[in-house]
Amino acid sequence: MSTPVVFDPMTLPSDDNVNSYTFCVELKGSRWFLQKGKMIAYYGQIDFDGIGHGRFERLVRTSFHSPLHASDWVVAEGSGKMLLADRAFDVNSFDLDDGNLTIRSGNLLAYEPSLALKQSIVPGFVTLIGTGKFVAASNGPVVFMEPPLRVDPQALVGWADCPSPCHHYDHGYMTGVMGGIRSLTGIGGTSGEEHQFEFVGAGTVLLQSSEALMAEQATGFVPNEPGVPGGPGGGGQHGSTPRMPGQLGDLQRRFGL
């Protein structure tokens, strides 16, 4: 029997993975943002504070631009080593060097305050801008791909440095009355792959190696203004969420109703 590795504050890695599911952050009087409830253990003296008003207001102003979902985040402050994990999903750290990266809100676990977190205009996604380290969870290891490519919506974790994706539909398979019936009932066979996200331009696309989605984390509302996608009233004509195949709306439109 191999003896398991025992970690203590000296042997725990600093800002690196302990195993593929656990990440260790070293705090030396510094601060980290983390999603609520993702800390599993820590050594040393670390305080966890919800970010609302009060002494973190300046920090929130400079590196947390979404006051509307501030209640889902916590600031860890102090010195010591802290372990982060999320429902036994794979966790990985990524370094951004004066870059930008957009990630599904549920996948982001923690980030350094040298990065700024902003709500993406794509609903359910957040964007990190600046220089620093962040930790993200994924179901299965993350795969890096380069555009142009089309990805399955459920496998997408995020993208860096490339313009936002657009929807791509398998036209021939989805149009016509037969296509409508097929996508509504499944009769005639749906492959489940009629709809993808399409990426073009230069950059990197991050995919997880499974199609299990992480629970979505609220990103807050967007202002109710005309021209703001995803806004409750002023946004898109057909509702704010992308229209998925198989919805009744498709069939109605096909019959010209």
Residues that bind another protein (CB under 8 A): 1, 3-9, 18-22, 36-37, 39-44, 46-52, 54, 71, 74, 83, 85-88, 91
Q: State the nearest-atom distance from the C-beta of 219 to another protein, in Å.
A: 17
Q: Residue 65 contacts by C-beta under 8 Å, 6 or more apart in sequence?
A: 116, 117, 118, 119
Q: Which residues of 229-243 are buried (b: 16+ CB within 10 A; e: fewer)?
A: ebbeeebeeeeeeee
User: For residues 184 and 251, is the Cβ–Cβ distance under 8 A?
Assistant: yes
102 dihedral zone (left: phi>0; alpha: psi -120 to 50; beta) = beta
Q: State the nearest-atom distance from the C-beta of 114 to another protein, in Å.
A: 21
Nearer to another protein, 82 or 96 (CB): 82
Sign of the torsion formed by the C-alpha atoms of 151, 121, 161 and 127: negative
Nearest to 109 by CA among 130, 85, 126, 87: 85
Nearer to another protein, 55 or 253 (CB): 55
Q: Which two tokens stand for residue 241?
A: 């969420």
Q: State the nearest-atom distance from the C-beta of 72 to another protein, in Å.
A: 9
> Which amino acid, 35?
Q
Nearer to another protein, 47 or 225 (CB): 47
Q: State the nearest-atom distance from the C-beta of 146 to another protein, in Å.
A: 30
Q: State the nearest-atom distance from the C-beta of 94 to another protein, in Å.
A: 18
Nearer to another protein, 89 or 173 (CB): 89
Nearer to another protein, 78 or 123 (CB): 78
